[in-house]
Amino acid sequence: MRPLRKVEVKRLFADAARSYPPKVELAFLLQSVEDPLNVGSMFRIADACGARELVFTGVTPAPPHEDIERTARGHERRVAWRRIGRMDEAANALRDEGYHLVALEMVQGAVCYLEYDFPDKVCLVLGNETKGVYRQTLALCDGAVYIPMYGKGPSMNVHVAGALVAYQALLGRESNDG
């Protein structure tokens, strides 16, 4: 094995896009994600997923910001983003655009992200690093998913969780129909 050249990487990803086309239109809503490094990482994830946009609410920092730019590595210039100050306004705007809001949170009624039937247009709602998705925000969501944890910790970093669930939503569950 050897590392691929740039042209080979482009060809690999073009072939993968044909073999594994996205099954949903995706957006992310960051509810009071405080760490600019997490926000920068979410720009990279959004770009990798081909997400339509990032929406920031609450205290979530936005570009221009040195730490976001350092972590995003230029993706903050490629991925659309907007700030909507109030969570209820953000939820209503996204719902008016046809999005189904899915919180990543361990709550009553949450479904394992591997089993969730993501609709054609989904916005993943990511919460605060310490407090998670707030109760008021959960009330505005159409569903919730969780990631099973097998170690002693009850959660993982918000941008890592966002990436896992985003790719599951994009690629979907395998059909057991035959």
- The tens digit of pLDDT for each residue in 58-108 reads 999 999 999 999 999 999 999 999 999 999 999 999 999 999 999 999 999
Who contacts 153 (Cβ-Cβ below 8 Å, separation ≥6)? none
pLDDT of 177: 44
Q: How far is CA 134 from CA 31, 110, 123, 147, in A?
A: 8, 15, 16, 18
Q: Tell me the C-alpha distance between 120 and 75, whole Å.
A: 25
Who contacts 52 (Cβ-Cβ below 8 Å, separation ≥6)? 25, 26, 27, 80
pLDDT of 74: 95
**pTM, 2 dp:** 0.94
* Percent of the chain topping pLDDT 90: 95
3-state helix, strand, coil in the chain (%, to 5): 35, 20, 45
| Cis bond before residue 61 (omega within 30° of 0) | no
pLDDT of 174: 63
Rg for the chain (alpha carbons), in Å?
Answer: 16
Residues of the chain with pLDDT under 50: 175-178
pLDDT of 178: 41
Taking a C-beta distance cutoff of 8 angstroms, is the pair 58, 89 a contact? no
Domains of the chain: 22-171 (3.40.1280.10)
pLDDT of 111: 98
pLDDT of 65: 97
Q: Which one-letter amino acid corresponds to residue 91?
A: A
pLDDT of 50: 96
